[in-house]
């Protein structure tokens, strides 16, 4: 485990400040994140899933989108990500996809689960279909071993599109 210093604390404080914005911002949840490269914040994000009607609008994903747009890149290789809560499987996959090197987080997945349980007691719309642990399990399974049915179709058609793309772009 990396021992953190004052610089790391500064970036985590910013992620938590972003999360705090959710208290007074409709359609948001208290999950804020920042992407940092070479000691500078290059992207920030707040979970806006309800506001955007977008279940992928998590703080980490929004911070990554922001950084990629700012830099006009799809790779953030070597960057760090600071987030107010331990990321879900989707966010972790996105982080790997863009090359995030290190993750720093405040609340654990168990803290997030407790938060949603308390929230759901007051309003059932916050009930989760899967816990973070169940989600991680399902995502880690082979496609035909998951609870979600999956059927492959028209494979030859998409392989032809792949070939056409390669021919046009190489």
What b/e string do you get for 64-96 counting C-beta neighbours within 10 Å, with b at 16 or more?
A: bbbbbeeeeeeebeebbbbbbbbbbbebbebbe
CA distance 20 to 24: 8
Torsional sign, CA 77, 80, 82, 85: positive
- Other C-beta atoms closer than 10 Å to the C-beta of 150 total 9
Active site members: 60
Beta bridge partners of 102: 80
CA distances from 99 to 34, 93, 156 (A): 15, 10, 31
């Amino acid at each position: 485990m990396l021992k953190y210093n004052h610089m790391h604390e500064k970036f985590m404080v910013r992620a938590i400040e972003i999360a705090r914005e959710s208290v007074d911002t409709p359609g948001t949840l208290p999950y804020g994140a920042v992407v940092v490269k070479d000691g500078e914040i290059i992207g920030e994000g707040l979970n806006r899933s309800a506001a955007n009607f977008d279940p992928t609008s998590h703080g980490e994903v929004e911070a990554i989108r922001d950084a990629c747009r700012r830099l006009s890149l799809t790779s953030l290789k070597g960057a760090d990500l600071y987030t107010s809560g331990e990321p879900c499987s989707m966010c972790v996959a996105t982080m790997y996809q863009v090359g995030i090197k290190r993750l720093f987080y405040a609340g654990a997945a168990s803290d997030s689960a407790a938060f949603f349980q308390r929230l759901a007691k007051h309003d059932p719309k916050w009930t989760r279909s899967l816990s973070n642990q169940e989600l991680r399990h399902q995502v880690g399974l082979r496609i035909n071993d998951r609870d979600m049915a999956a059927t492959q179709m028209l494979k030859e058609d998409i392989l032809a599109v792949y070939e056409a793309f390669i021919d046009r772009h190489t």
